[in-house]
Amino acid sequence: MSTPVLEVRDLKRDYVSSGGLFRPAKVNHAVKGVSFSLEKGKTLAVVGESGCGKSTLARMITLIDEPTAGDILIDGHEVSAENVSKELRQKVQIVFQNPYGSLNPRQKIGEVLAEPLLLNTSLSAAERREKAMAMLIKVGLQSEHFNRYPHMFSGGQRQRIAIARALMLNPSFLVLDEPVSALDLSVQAQILNLLKDLQEEFGLTYVFISHDLSVVRYIADEVMVMYFGDVVERGTREDVFTNPQHDYTKTLFAATPRSDVDHIKARLARKKAAA
C-alpha cells in the first residue's frame, strides 16, 4: 500500500480569549480532533458553513498555524509549523479565495512566478524565466502577460496566476481555500476545469475547502463534512450526495439552492408568474 500524500491524526486547534477581572478566559475549540488520509491524485472536499473550522484546518495542514494537538504527515514525514525542513515545506502550497490580496501589486507577474524559484532553488535567471513563462502558458495565460502587473488582470486571471505560483515548486498537494467563490459562474467553471486538467497532467492532490456543494460535487473524489469543529460525515462523493447519513449533512444539502439550468428556469418562471 502506497504512503498517503497527506495524513492527519487527531488534529485540534484551540483559541483562548483573554478574560477580565470578573470573567475567566474562554477557550474556543475551533477544530476538535480531525483525522483523515489522502492518496496521490485525489481531491478531498471539506465542506460546512462559515465558522465550522474548515479554514482553520486549511491553515494547519499548510503549516501556517501550529495545531494545539495532533500530528500532520506529508509523504510519510511528520511535520509541524515550527519544525519543518525547507524541502517538506515546499511540498504543500495554498491558493486563497482572494488572489489579489496575495499578489504583490508592485511585482510584475513574471517576477511573482519566478520568486519561489529564486528563494528555493539554484536556477539561473534565464532558467527561472523559462519555467515561469512555461507555467504562465500552462494555466491559460499568454506570454504578453509576463510583464504586466496584478491590477491589469480580471479576477479569474488573477486566480490562474495564483495557481501557477503555487505550482512553481512542484508541490505534493495543494490546499484550495474557497478558490472560486468570488468569481462569476462562467469563470468558476473555467477555473475548475483548469484544476482538473492540471491534476490529471501533474498527478496533483487537492484539499478543496468550500461551502458551495455544486462545486464540490463537480470536483471532489471524497467529501468531509464539518460542523462546529467536528467531522460529522466522510465518504465518497456519490455516497455523501446520494445517501447522506448525518442530520447536519441532510440539512446542509436541503438548504443549498439547486444551480442546474432546469431549476434556474423554474425559479425564473415562478418569479414571473408571481409578478
Over residues 204-254, the pLDDT tens digits come to 999 999 988 989 999 999 999 999 999 999 999 999 999 999 999 999 988
| CA torsion angle 59 62 65 66 (round to 10) | 130
Per-residue pLDDT for 270 more than 50? yes
Let me know how long the chain is: 275
Ramachandran bin of 114, using left for φ above 0, alpha for ψ from -120 to 50, beta for the remaining angles: alpha
Global confidence as pTM: 0.88
Q: pLDDT tens for residues 29-71?
A: 999 999 999 999 999 999 999 889 999 999 999 999 999 999 9
Per-residue pLDDT for 201 more than 80? yes
Q: pLDDT tens for residues 246-262?
A: 999 999 988 765 544 45
Ramachandran bin of 226, using left for φ above 0, alpha for ψ from -120 to 50, beta for the remaining angles: beta
| Average pLDDT across the chain, whole number | 90
Q: So what's the pLDDT on residue 25?
A: 79
> How many C-beta atoms surround the C-beta of residue 160 within 10 A?
23
| CA torsion angle 16 17 19 20 (round to 10) | 160
- Residue 122's pLDDT band, with cuts at 50, 70 and 90, is very high
Element (H, E) at 112: helix 109-120
Q: Which residue has the higher pLDDT, 12 or 21?
A: 12
- Its CATH architecture, for the domain 6-237, is 3-Layer(aba) Sandwich (3.40)
Q: For residue 187, what is its C-alpha cell?
A: 469563470
